[in-house]
């Protein structure tokens, strides 16, 4: 397909590269920032523009990979209404297209993307939604060409997947930031925790996380919990999180302190 990418951030970069590897043609990149648009266009060997009105009308599909809040504003300014268009958001409803477009859908990759970090797109689940049969066929074929895990999911369920993903990735990563902070305070290398972090992620590839829970809250070990809370005296934010998650673990497992 001939694709135009709207946005030049994490998703536009990774998705654009995956599409290029699968022999699709990226015709043009749009971004409000000239330097970002230029950089991505070089990587994807295509043209770029920073002007909404100069976005080419000669593509088979337009993929919007903008920040969630920017999608609706962009659509209100975008003049090419007669071509299939999708966004990549986990939380923005497909209805955002309804007023102005005929062929529309959603192309949400369930993965965490960061610049300068390669991702194997073949294993990335892609949640698809389409407003009509024609778009359905088009985006399904596109998704299948870059990933072996494609699923049709409606807007309501996609929002739930995004919510779960925030817990699974964003919150767990923040907890690692806290762990890193505690280690750094003692001048101990974070490397010491890396095998533990890896095993935590590996275990749940084959088992339910519910069956893999360990730790003082799971054991109902109140003495250790009290000691940890005391150690976090000077860090009220961390202490709050420790208490909240310990209570959640205990409650989920029927443990009483």
Geometric angle at alpha carbon 132, from 68 and 52, rounded to 5°: 40
Residue nearest to ligand NAP (CB): 9
Q: How many CA atoms lie within 13 A of 131 on its CB side?
A: 19
- Told to check if 63 binds ligand NAP by CB under 6 A, we report no
- Told to check if 4 binds ligand NAP by CB under 6 A, we report no
**Which positions from 15 to 54 touch ligand NAP by CB under 6 A, shown as an x/- string?**
----------------xxx--x------------------
Residue among 30 and 101 whose Cβ is closer to ligand NAP? 30
Token reading at 205 = 């590839």
DSSP state of 208: -
CB of 14 to ligand NAP, least distance (A): 8
Judge whether 86 and 26 are in contact, CB under 8 Å: no
CB atoms within 10 A of CB 171: 13
- Told to check if 135 binds ligand NAP by CB under 6 A, we report no
CB of 32 to ligand NAP, least distance (A): 4
Residue among 62 and 238 whose Cβ is closer to ligand NAP? 62
- Told to check if 70 binds ligand NAP by CB under 6 A, we report yes
Helix or strand (DSSP H, E) at 14: helix 10-21
Kindly give, in sequence order, each residue whose CB lies less than 8 Å from that of residue 172, ignoring residues fewer than 6 positions away: none
How far apart, in whole angstroms, are the C-alpha atoms of residue 141 and residue 86?
A: 14
The residue from 1, 5, 7, 142 that contacts ligand NAP (CB under 6 A) is: 7
- Told to check if 66 binds ligand NAP by CB under 6 A, we report yes
The residue from 78, 97, 101, 113 that contacts ligand NAP (CB under 6 A) is: 113
Residues comprising the chain, all counted: 257
CB of 151 to ligand NAP, least distance (A): 14
Geometric angle at alpha carbon 119, from 173 and 188, rounded to 5°: 35
Helix or strand (DSSP H, E) at 75: helix 68-77
Residue numbers 81-110 binding ligand NAP by CB under 6 A: 88-90, 108-109
CB of 166 to ligand NAP, least distance (A): 11
How far apart, in whole angstroms, are the C-alpha atoms of residue 174 and residue 41?
A: 32
Positions that interact with ligand NAP (CB under 6 A): 7-12, 31-33, 36, 65-68, 70, 74, 88-90, 108-109, 112-113
């Amino acid at each position: 397909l001939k694709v135009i990418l709207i946005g030049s951030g994490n998703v536009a970069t990774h998705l654009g590269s995956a599409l290029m590897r699968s022999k699709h043609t990226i015709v043009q990149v749009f971004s409000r920032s000239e330097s970002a648009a230029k950089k991505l266009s070089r990587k994807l060997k295509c043209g770029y523009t920073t002007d909404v009105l100069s976005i080419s009308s000669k593509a088979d599909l337009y993929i919007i990979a903008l920040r969630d809040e920017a999608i609706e504003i962009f659509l209100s300014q975008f003049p090419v209404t007669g071509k299939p268009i999708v966004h990549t958001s986990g939380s923005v409803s497909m209805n955002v297209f309804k007023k102005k477009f005929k062929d529309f859908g959603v192309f949400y990759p369930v993965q965490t993307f960061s610049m300068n970090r390669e991702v194997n797109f073949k294993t990335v689940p892609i949640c698809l939604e389409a407003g009509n049969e024609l778009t359905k066929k088009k985006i399904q074929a596109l998704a299948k060409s870059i990933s072996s895990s494609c699923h049709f999911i409606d807007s309501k369920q996609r929002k739930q997947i995004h919510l779960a993903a925030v817990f699974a990735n964003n919150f767990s990563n923040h907890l690692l930031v806290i762990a890193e902070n505690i280690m750094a305070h003692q001048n101990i290398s974070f490397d010491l925790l890396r095998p533990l972090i890896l095993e935590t992620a590996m275990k749940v590839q084959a088992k339910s996380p519910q069956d893999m829970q360990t730790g003082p809250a799971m054991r109902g070990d109140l003495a250790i919990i009290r000691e940890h809370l005391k150690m976090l005296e000077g860090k009220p934010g961390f202490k709050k999180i420790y208490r909240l998650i310990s209570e959640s673990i205990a409650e989920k497992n029927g443990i009483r302190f």
